[in-house]
Structure 1
Amino acid sequence: MPTIRDVARLAGVSVATVSRVINQNGYVNKDTEQKVRKAIEQLQYMPNSVARGLAGKQTGTIALILPDISNPFFPEIARAVEDVAQKQGYTVILCNSDDQGQKEQTYIEMLRKKYIDGIIFASNTLREEDVQQMQANKIPLVVLDRALASGSCSVIRSRNYEGAKLAVEHLLQIGCRKIAHLYGPQEMITAKERMLGFEESVMHFPWYSPSLMVPGYFSVEGGIAAVKELLSRHRDVDGIFCGNDLMAIGALKGLHQLGIRVPDEVALIGFDGISLTQITQPELSTIAQPIYDMGTLAAQVLIAAITSGELQPKLYELDVTLIERESSKR
């Protein structure tokens, strides 16, 4: 592979002059610039972006660490981040951690060594020491969706508590008289806030019992198992709020296997607003997060921090929207 020295030798100039032409930094007269560009073209020289980044302290690369790329919520986040990054001249490296803390630690260490300009992190396992390490290495960090707002980094998420209350209010308005909740892993702030919103909305009713809340692990399989466990305890439940849409899809399938009609016997609503909710039968009601907007904002906040060299920790909470579909229409 040709080097910058080969270009300089062919053009009859110094390496510093070639560097100024490539980086458009400093004065080079037009004749000299033309010689350099002709030599670059003749040798088919490709500048090393990492080396250029080290000289300018930036590489034009950001990383996006996601916990579960199979969950349709996260590809939409990734699309938004990539769209914003591309317009700003950045490349995005996508890392899927499978919700494994050790895997995330490996990614963080690898990315730190590869001179990434900044990281967008969607995880519930990010540790305070990880944040401090990245701050010490002057790597801007923005956290999405699942992390606690520790005050040491910017966090972008939706109003989970308010969304849960909106879901319960909707089920009550359509006439549900006993409502249950399938919840996600409680180490995740999203699952915790949605469960809290549910519980505080229904705990004053005489029919309320903690046994109306069943873990579904934010997965389709978890939703199937959870709804069957729920109905074995409370056959008279007529409304179910699921903490995410994947559990709602699983609950819909589980109810079908039990011969229970949705929404005639049990009304169903999820949370997230992923596209799969539109292709089920019946289509699923959901509390929709502005998923694309969350990814867009995360990329904008991170790139602004990279450009300015400053990132003031801030919590951004975006509004959610009720989308009423066939699964909760009566």
Structure 2
Amino acid sequence: MATIKDVARQARVSVTTVSHVVNKTRFVSEEGRNRVEQAIRELGYVPSAVARSLQRSATNTLGMLIPNSSNPYFAEIVRGIEDRCFGAGYNLVLCNTDDEPRRQGMVLQVLAERRVDGLIVVSSGEDPALPELLAGLRMPTVMVDREIDTLPCDLVETAHMQGALLAVQHLTALGHRRIACIGGPAGVATADQRAEGWRMALAGLGLASAGLLQPGDFTSEGGYAAMHAILRQTPRPSAVFVANDLMAIGALCAAHECGVAVPDELSLVGFDDIELARFACPPLTTVAQPKQRIAAMAVDMLLERIEGRRQDVRKVVLQPELRVRASSAPYRESAA
């Protein structure tokens, strides 16, 4: 493999001159630059990213922490962030904590050792040590989707309670009055906020929520198990709000196994609007998160910090939208 000394020898210039051409750190005459660039092409020289990062104290690399790489919602967010990073000339190092808060510390250490310029973090539930860990890294950080109250850093997320209100208001407008909820993991801010939005919407209409919340874990298996529990209730709810689309797909499967027709006998509304939601059977009514805007804003806010264009903490809450499809329908007396 060609070295910088080989390039300097062939171009008949100093190693320092080659370095200035590669890193664009000082003016080099057009003739000298042309000789260096020609030598680089002929020798197939590839500059060392590690050496360049040490020289410039930057790696043009961002780190991202997500709780579950198998969840399509996070996959779609990551895709948007990668696209935005590429357009800005940055690489992305992705780490998955597999929904285990205790793994976050180890993963953050790995990212710090890779000398990333900044972090985009989706936290994994309650971890009292996380704020101190992030503060100790002393690098620009943007939280996505899940806020940590004790950590003064940038945040971009969706109005989760408002999204749940939209879902329940849609179901009540269709005439449903006994509306169950499949919630997310305990201690995860997004799950807590969506469940609270469901409760508030029912309470605002004088409808009961007691006994109608089934715990879930944001996986299709969790939604499947929770729906089986809901369908055993007497009287059975006529509609279910599910705190994410992945659980809603599992819930659809459970309803089908039990011979309960969706939406004729049971209406269902999810949350996230993952790509698979349109291809469920029936296509899933859901609350859409603006995933592309979340991704773009997370990267842009982080680059503002890295490049010194902003110092104040910024928190952005984006509004969700309801996507009405075929899994919800007007209440029918015989359905419940």
TM-score by shorter chain over 0.5: yes
Q: Percent identity?
A: 37
The answer to whether the Cα contact below 8 Å between 1:131 and 1:152 also exists between their aligned partners in 2 is: no
Partner Cα separation in structure 1 for residue 54 and residue 323 of structure 2: 48
- Taking the TM superposition and a 5 Å limit, the aligned residue runs for 1:305-316 are 305-308=305-308, 310-316=310-316
Evaluate the alpha carbon distance shift between residue 273 and residue 101 of structure 1 in structure 2; reply closer, same or farther with a 3 A threshold: same
Residue in 2 that maps onto 1:132: 135
Deviations 1:163-201 (A, max 9, x none): 111111111100102111110012111000001111122
Runs of at least 5 residues in structure 2 that lack an aligned partner in the other structure:
331-336
The alpha-carbon distance between structure 1 residues 287 and 123, as it changes in their structure 2 partners (threshold 3 A), is same
Match for 1:259: what amino acid?
Answer: G
RMSD: 1.8
1:269 aligns with 269
What secondary structure sits across from 1:101 in the alignment? coil
Counterpart in 1 of 2:62? Answer: 62
- Taking the aligned partners of 1:160 and 1:204, their CA distance within structure 2 comes to 17
For 1:166 and 1:207, locate their aligned partners in 2 and report how far apart those are by CA, in whole Å: 16
Report what 2:162 is aligned to: 162
In structure 2, what is the equivalent of residue 212 of structure 1?
212
Tell me the TM-score normalized by structure 2. 0.91
Q: Which residue of 2 aligns with 1:175?
A: 175
Equivalent-residue separation in structure 2 for 1:8 and 1:243 (angstroms):
60
Distance of aligned partners of 1:298 and 1:281 in 2 relative to their CA distance in 1, 3 Å threshold: same
SS in structure 1 at match of 2:196: helix
Count the aligned residue pairs. Answer: 327
Residue identity matched to 1:263 = P
* Residues 132-185 of structure 1, C-alpha deviations (whole Å, 9 max, x = no match): 1122xxx21111112334451111110001111111111110010211111001
Shift in CA distance, 10/272, structure 1 to aligned 2, threshold 3 Å: same
Superposed, 1:221-240 pairs within 5 Å as 221-240=221-240
2:76 alignment counterpart = 76
Find the aligned partners of 2:82 and 2:131 in 1 and give their Cα distance. Answer: 27
* Bigger Cα displacement from structure 2, 118-127 vs 240-249: 118-127
Which has the larger displacement, 33-42 or 106-115?
Answer: 33-42
Task: Report what 2:99 is aligned to.
Answer: 99
Q: Distance in 2 between matches of 1:260 and 1:314?
A: 46
CA distance in 2, matches of 1:160, 1:148: 15
Range with greater deviation from structure 2 (290-299 or 35-44)? 35-44
5+ residue gaps, structure 1, are none
Counterpart amino acid of residue 270 in structure 2:
G
Shift of residue 25, structure 1, vs aligned partner:
1.8
**Relative to structure 1, is the Cα distance of residues 288 and 234 closer, same or farther in structure 2, using a 3 angstrom cutoff?**
farther
1:124–1:189 contact (8 Å) kept in structure 2: no
State the 1:7 CA deviation: 2.4
Cα-to-partner distance string for 1:11-62 (whole Å, 9 max, x where unaligned): 3332221111111221222222233223323332211122112211211111
Q: Which amino acid is 1:132 matched to?
A: A
Q: What is the distance in 2 between the residues matched to 1:235 and 1:144? A: 39
Counterpart residue type for residue 48 of structure 1:
S
1:17 paired residue number: 17
**Change beyond 3 A, Cα 1:254–1:311:** farther
In the other structure, the counterpart of 1:28 is: 28
Once residues 61 and 235 of structure 2 are traced to their aligned partners in structure 1, the CA distance between those partners, rounded to angstroms, is: 53
- SS at the partner of 1:132? helix
SS in 2 for 1:229: helix
Matches within 5 A, 1:221-300: 221-300=221-300
Q: Are the aligned partners of 1:151 and 1:313 in contact in 2 as well (CA < 8 Å)?
A: no
2:278–2:284 CA contact under 8 A, matched in 1: yes
For residue 232 of structure 2, give the secondary structure of its aligned residue in structure 1: helix
Which stretch shows the higher mean deviation, 224-233 or 170-179?
A: 224-233
Provide the TM-score with structure 1 as the length reference.
0.93
- For 2:134, the aligned partner's letter is V
Q: Indicate the larger mover: 152-161 or 89-98.
A: 89-98
Moved over 6 A (4+): none
Q: CA deviation at 1:305?
A: 1.7
Of residues 64-73 and 316-325 in structure 1, the stretch that sits farther from structure 2 once superposed is: 64-73
Q: Which residue of 2 aligns with 1:185?
A: 185
Give, as a single letter, the amino acid of the residue that structure 2 aligns with 1:257: E
Partners in 2 of 1:54 and 1:207 — Cα distance? 62
Give the stretch that moved more between structures: 221-230 or 304-313.
Answer: 304-313
Distance (whole Å) between structure 2 residues aligned to residue 55 and residue 25 of structure 1: 10
1:196 matched residue in structure 2: 196
Aligned to 1:233, the other structure's residue is in SS state: coil
